[in-house]
Amino acid sequence: MNNITNEGLILACSAIGAGLAMIAGIGPGVGQGYAAGQGAAAVGRNPGAKSDVTSTMLLGQAVAETTGLYGLVIALILLYANPLLSKFLKL
């Protein structure tokens, strides 16, 4: 039987949590692809509205991307800063 230390358990759970946080990147990717496709279709139907459609599409994509970036920040914190590790090892 292998003995699991507190440090090993915290590191393993942090790695799993970082992986789960990166799943948050799937939603923005799908949403941005859909927005780009709909924007291209709208410009195809009405080429005169290209600037309005493009600016609205890019604003929407920027807002959608924040979810993926938050997930990335959480994953990086869990992998490299790991506030849980220092807290529990001092106990």
**Number of structural domains, the chain?**
1
pLDDT tens-digit map of 9-58: 888 888 999 999 988 888 888 888 898 898 899 999 999 999 999 998 88
Residue 69 has pLDDT above 60, yes or no: yes
Q: Is residue 5 part of a domain?
A: no
Do the domain assignments include residue 74?
A: yes
Q: How many residues does the chain have?
A: 91
Confidence (pTM): 0.73
Per the CB < 8 A criterion, the answer to whether 74 and 35 are in contact is no
3-state helix, strand, coil in the chain (%, to 5): 90, 0, 10
Enclosing domain of residue 76: 25-84
Six-digit token string for 62: 């920027």
- Structural domain contains residue 59: yes
